[in-house]
Chain A
Amino acid sequence: MDEIRERWNKLGDEMQEKENSVTEIFSRDRSALLLARLNRKMKLGLIWNIVLMLLPVVAGVYHRQSTEMLWLLGGFFLMMLVNLLYSGNHYLTVRRSAFMQENSCRMLERYLKAVKGTLRFERVWSLFTIPLSLIMAILYTQLLRYDSFAEIRPESPVLIVTALLMVTAVPAAILWTGWSQRKAYGEEIRELREMIAMLSAPD
């Protein structure tokens, strides 16, 4: 074996012996890593929101001749925009504070509060947006059949389907929102709580 490789291998052996330091660093920076994970999930939520906002935009371009259709799609767009602005604002605030401040217990508490606040808002907001989205979807299909809102006549099959969806699909979608939030953030929030408890415990 040549001299360079021999020296290099010796260096590798020495470095490998420093095993504990990696675990130490990881444990020390666990809170930063956890916040990064939460940030990533929140960002993903915002991306989904933006994707959903694109749907009425695309439909709007397609139906650009119909003013009433544009009003309807505009309403849906605004509804999603409110959610994006609220969650986006929260996301940027917590992200900034997480990067700018020390990984102190107070910062983690603030972060937890902000994440929970955002999730609560999304849950409450979904109570309105999900039934409203259904109504808008029904109106959209009706507008495709008739030319304007004034021409739409209540039809029994449409009313029955709407009522059925209101009592089945809407509650299911609302419950799913809560469940998916728990599934997506549950573990991180629990970890964050544990970390706060650990940091605030007296020595």
Chain B
Amino acid sequence: MPAKKREEQFLQLMNHCSGILQKVSLLYTENEEERADLLQEIIYQCWRSFPSFRGESKPSTWVYRVSLNTALVYRRITALQQRELTLGVDQIADLPAEQREENPQRDALLQAIRCLPKTERMIITLHLDSYSNSEIAAMTGTSKGNIAVKIHRIRETLKKQLKEEK
């Protein structure tokens, strides 16, 4: 495929899945600087693996997989340089100011998800984006039954946290 056409297809896909990229980069970082860094890294990794994308899975599933893997590797690398992500209520201030003021409900949800362990964050992100348990199991390398149990537990935790916030 000519490079120009490939680039166009890639950009089309990236813009179509822009929400996924933004959400993953937001959930796995602590501040705006890191978020921009991770977003750039995800786009770079997607571009690197784009030639090997054969269209066997849905494009959005492929983008999700690359994004989440990149985010996990990114966190592992940054965790070596700084403490592990433990975002508290006060740290939500790291979100861009205009977003924080606009939507406190969204911030609360983000904060609750960001407090989850990395793998659980990955599972709930996929679940909330309507991926089936078997799809999540295939992407995370766990069993379908295990995913169902985990989703139930995570949802309970989130509900509890959101109730406390109210």
Provide the residues of chain A in CB contact with B40, threshold 8 Å. Answer: 25, 29
B21-41 near A? 1/0 per residue, CB < 8 Å: 111001000000000000110
Report yes or no: B19 in contact with A32, Cβ–Cβ below 8 A.
no
Asked if A100 is at the interface (CB within 8 A of a chain B CB), the reply is no
B147-161 near A? 1/0 per residue, CB < 8 Å: 000000001001100
Residues facing A in B92-128 (CB within 8 A) are 99, 103, 105-106, 108-110, 128
Report yes or no: A15 in contact with B18, Cβ–Cβ below 8 A.
yes
Asked if B162 is at the interface (CB within 8 A of a chain A CB), the reply is yes
Asked if B11 is at the interface (CB within 8 A of a chain A CB), the reply is yes
Asked if A7 is at the interface (CB within 8 A of a chain B CB), the reply is yes
Provide the residues of chain B in CB contact with A10, threshold 8 Å. Answer: 103, 105-106
Residues facing B in A9-62 (CB within 8 A) are 10-16, 18-19, 21-23, 25-26, 29, 32-33, 36, 40
Asked if B129 is at the interface (CB within 8 A of a chain A CB), the reply is yes
Provide the residues of chain A in CB contact with B23, threshold 8 Å. Answer: 11-12, 15
CA distance A18 to B15 in the complex (A): 9
Report yes or no: A26 in contact with B11, Cβ–Cβ below 8 A.
yes
Q: Smallest Cβ distance from B28 to chain A, in angstroms?
A: 14
Interface of A is mostly: helix
Provide the residues of chain B in CB contact with A33, threshold 8 Å. Answer: 44, 47-48
Provide the residues of chain B in CB contact with A188, threshold 8 Å. Answer: 3
Provide the residues of chain A in CB contact with B55, threshold 8 Å. Answer: none
Q: Smallest Cβ distance from A16 to chain B, in angstroms?
A: 4
Asked if A151 is at the interface (CB within 8 A of a chain B CB), the reply is no
Provide the residues of chain A in CB contact with B155, threshold 8 Å. Answer: 4
Asked if B14 is at the interface (CB within 8 A of a chain A CB), the reply is yes
Asked if B43 is at the interface (CB within 8 A of a chain A CB), the reply is yes
Report yes or no: B159 in contact with A36, Cβ–Cβ below 8 A.
no
Provide the residues of chain A in CB contact with B2, threshold 8 Å. Answer: 187
B19 interface neighbour in A16, A23, A29, A191, Cβ under 8 Å = A16
Residues of B within 8 A of A (CB): 2-3, 10-11, 14-15, 18-19, 21-23, 26, 39-40, 43-44, 47-48, 99, 103, 105-106, 108-110, 128-129, 155, 158-159, 162
Known A-B contacts: A15-B26, A19-B15, A21-B22. Give 7 more (CB < 8 A): A4-B109, A7-B106, A15-B19, A15-B22, A21-B18, A23-B14, A26-B14
